[in-house]
Amino acid sequence: MAAVVATPVGAARVQLARPAARSSVRAQAAVKLEAPNYVGKDEVPSTLLRPGIDDPESMRGKFERMIRDVQNKVCSAIEEVDGTSFRQDAWIRPSGGGGITRVLQEGNVWEKAGVAVSVVYGSMPAESYRVAIGKDVPFEKDDRVPFFAAGVSSVMHPWNPHCPTMHFNYRYFETEDWKGIPGQWWFGGGTDITPCYLNEEDMKHFHGTYKAVCDRHDAAWYNKFKLNCDDYFMIPHRGETRGMGGIFFDDLNDRDKDAIFAFSSDCANNIVESYVPIIKEHKNDPYAPRQKEWQQVRRGRYVEFNLVYDRGTIFGLKTGGRIESILMSMPLTASWRYDYQVDPQGPEQKFLDAVRNPREQRWV
């Protein structure tokens, strides 16, 4: 799949895949893609649930209301800091559901920031089901699994290299009975931070916010989900994590559904508190060309992880999701400098030491 990275003068334009790779993805998805029906910037439906089919008081309805509220809160907080408004696109999926994507591009503080919600129904290839749950499931080539999926996801890429990128994703997933396997449900998500310089006070604030959230629900969860995050965002071919972690949980269904929903909601409602104060602190910090160059190199690592390893991206591509929303996470600019070296005594090396030894980092 190709991604074009452009804008400010001197930034590289890059293509990330050979035609053969693109053909492979196209061949797998050819009969599954659906062109979304755009309903405009202002004509946002009051709900993306199916009238007369989905109970608004079910978990499907409660989760949709939560993620749409989070989208509103996060976008309002970002607009207040940036002074620029998000562009909004609403779309409807012909086979059921749809989404609302908001993107702020080339703002005053953020190079690119996006917050998207989606509520999707249909049937997915059994292969995608296996990818989504991260487990081996026996299936025939043409098997398809009925599903419901709802989620909110976001990536924020600031201009200033002293301001970290932030990502969050919170989702709810259901499958119906299939081939003797009972219908399943689970929650997943997390919030993580990706600076390109290590500021310990910033990391204490970010991780401390999420430890407090976890502790309100289960005292064991912060350490568990912090390690999950370090493991999930590892870039194996680089031997380093994408960033400085956070919390990450998946396939969470080991207790009452409403209890996990309360935890997911608490996490999502602390996104602004965990991140925006850090941006306010550093958005006007001075920086040198070499520091901007380092930021672009680290953005390249971000792209590598998202396109090669991220399960959400893979799931979206294989189920015919809206491509603009799936690739919303890509930065506008990035760099892949050949054999890039850093000063072994400099702050860049300190950062590399941290992402190459993530389990040793204890911020709280």
Task: Report, as residue numbers or ranges, the catalytic residues.
Answer: 167
Joined together, the tokens standing for residue 178 give 């299939």
Question: What is the CA angle 308-88-78, rounded to 5?
Answer: 80
Q: Alpha-carbon torsion 269, 274, 277, 280, what sign?
A: negative
Full strand arrangement of the beta sheet holding 246-252: 37-40, 87-92, 97-105, 110-125, 144-158, 165-175, 185-194, 246-252
Pair type for strands 240-241 and 234-235? antiparallel
- Give every CB contact of residue 319 below 8 A, 6+ residues apart in sequence: 32, 120, 122, 124, 125, 128
* Cβ pair 169, 162 in contact under 8 A: no
Crossing angle of helices 221-232 and 200-217, in 10° steps, is: 130
Q: Do 189 and 171 form a contact (C-beta atoms < 8 A)?
A: yes
H-only helix segments in the chain: 19-29, 59-82, 126-133, 200-217, 221-232, 257-268, 271-282, 289-308, 311-318, 323-326, 347-356
SS3 181: strand
- Please answer whether residues 121 and 95 qualify as being in contact, where contact means their C-beta atoms are separated by less than 8 angstroms: yes
Our measurement of the distance from residue 298's CA atom to the centroid of its chain's CA atoms, rounded to an integer in Å, reads 17
User: Tokens at residue 93, please?
Assistant: 């999926």
**Cα distances (Å, whole numbers) of residue 149 to 67, 258, 357:** 12, 17, 34
* Sign of the CA dihedral with 151 first, then 104, 1, and 37 last: positive
- Pair 194, 246: CB distance under 8 Å: no
Alpha carbons 299 and 5: distance in angstroms, whole number: 11
